[in-house]
Amino acid sequence: MSRLIAFSLCAALSGAAQAAFAGDEPAGPPQASRGSEIAKAVESAVSRVFESAAPSVVRVECEDELGKVAGTGFFVDADGTILTLSSVVGDGTGVFVTHGDSRLPARLLAKDDRIGVALLKVDPEGAKPFLLKGDCRKVKTATPLVVVGFPYDLEASPSFGVVGGLDRQSRGKFFATTHFRANIPVQRGQGGSPVLDLDGGVVGVLVSGLEDGSGCYVVPIRAAEKIRSDYARFGEVRHGWAGVTLQEIPVSVEGSRMAIDLIDPASPAAQDFRVGDVVVQVGDIVIREPEDALDAKFFLTAGDTIPVRVARRGEVVEIPFTPAEHPFGREPELHALGPGSLGAPLRPGGQP
């Protein structure tokens, strides 16, 4: 997808907005014509993204106690690695992927129920067309997005809309990391679809539809790539454990309101951190409020050293910190905070 398409769409929208607010009668075409030009620009952009992405998108099927569960996935490399929805693949038995005229058995490599994403692998019959990553950090409210997936038992189709917000929680439940709330109605079967920007780069994975059908939640591709990176390096998803509890303080220090309240004496944080330290930054994530701390926690990887900046006694100290694996396995609340609380897996036909 050329950046020219995205620029043309933005230019068309910008021109219409300028004309709408101008004090004099616009010299350009009538209002109906300008609206038609905008519609054609949108149609052209979505069509080009869809045509470019569709060959890399697959249907994912699995049998469970309720029958066949179907979803969507997409190739992330030429070797047959696929990102999809974790609730579609279950425990990884009886999973098949349909790509074009081929129906291939797939094996589960890894999944993370915190964000509802799974990693599959098929033995490729030649190199697979795969999607390139976009820059999910550039996504903001009103960013246009395209979903390419398999609704019900139909062929792959595009859906278009814009980002309504960047959410850390919904209906009182916190996400494990920030999600994009997209004003894109989706249908059963599209869970696991790639969500693309107008340059055709993947910026997220569709993980849940809103209950009223008005939109969906999208996990940023950066979060899904953590799962893929962990598997490539360790053969599993490796959650990092710090062993500290943070509390919100009434007055911000260095822009942060999050201070260390408790430290587990057996944790990796016990040696270098102190109760009262105000956490300013973890890796590349700036900490200002509780939700920032959740984001930072998600991206911790056991064994990886990252810089942590804390405010302590009037100065900012940078500490190299290496998270550990949790001594009792995964922390129990991780599974309760994911997108599964927002709705059932998407299934073809019947009830979800």
Number of domains, the chain = 3
Residue 234 lies in a domain: no
- Tell me which residue of 168, 154, 151 sits closest to 206, measured CA to CA: 151
Residue 68 lies in a domain: yes
In a shared domain, residues 151 and 294: no
Let me know if 214 is exposed, middle or buried by CB neighbors in 10 A (0-12, 13-18, 19+).
middle
In a shared domain, residues 210 and 66: yes
Do the beta carbons of residue 123 and residue 109 sit within 8 Å?
no
Least confident of 10-24, 184-198, 233-247, 257-271: 10-24
> pLDDT tens digits for 12-31?
443 433 333 334 444 555 66
In a shared domain, residues 135 and 119: yes
In a shared domain, residues 349 and 295: no
> pLDDT tens digits for 34-82?
878 888 999 999 999 999 999 999 999 998 676 788 999 999 999 999 9
Q: Which two tokens stand for residue 185?
A: 């109605």
Q: Which two tokens stand for residue 15?
A: 């021109």
Averaged pLDDT score across all residues of the chain: 85
In a shared domain, residues 175 and 275: no
Domain around 110 = 57-220+336-352
The band of 172, judged by pLDDT with boundaries at 50, 70 and 90, is confident
pTM: 0.84
In a shared domain, residues 179 and 291: no
Residue 233 lies in a domain: no
In a shared domain, residues 319 and 256: yes
Residue 152 confidence (pLDDT): 86
In a shared domain, residues 315 and 349: no
In a shared domain, residues 38 and 72: no
3-class secondary structure, 162:
strand
Sign of CA dihedral 232, 145, 336, 295: positive
Residue 226 lies in a domain: no
What's the CATH code of the domain at 288?
2.30.42.10
What's the CATH code of the domain at 121?
2.40.10.120
How far is residue 145's CA from residue 185's CA, in Å, rounded to a whole number? 12
**CB atoms near residue 135 (< 10 Å):** 12
In a shared domain, residues 72 and 137: yes
How far is residue 91's CA from residue 128's CA, in Å, rounded to a whole number? 25
Do the beta carbons of residue 342 and residue 217 sit within 8 Å?
yes
Residue 230 lies in a domain: no
Residue 213 confidence (pLDDT): 77
Residue 228 lies in a domain: no
- Tell me which residue of 85, 29, 43, 27 sits closest to 60, measured CA to CA: 85
In a shared domain, residues 78 and 197: yes
pLDDT exceeds cutoff 70 at 6:
no
Q: Which two tokens stand for residue 166?
A: 């960047």
pLDDT exceeds cutoff 90 at 348:
no
Residue 28 confidence (pLDDT): 53
Q: Which residues contact 112 (CB under 8 A, 6 or more apart)?
A: 86, 118, 227, 237
Residue 22 confidence (pLDDT): 38
pLDDT exceeds cutoff 90 at 9:
no
In a shared domain, residues 72 and 202: yes
What residues does 60 pair with on adjacent strands?
71, 97
Residue 231 lies in a domain: no
How is residue 241 annotated by DSSP? Answer: B
Instruction: Report the Cα 9 to chain-centroid distance in Å.
Output: 24
pLDDT exceeds cutoff 90 at 110:
yes
How far is residue 115's CA from residue 334's CA, in Å, rounded to a whole number? 9
The band of 261, judged by pLDDT with boundaries at 50, 70 and 90, is very high
Residue 341 confidence (pLDDT): 29
Residue 237 lies in a domain: no
More confident residue, 326 or 264: 264
Residue 328 confidence (pLDDT): 75
Least confident of 103-107, 271-275, 283-287, 335-339: 335-339
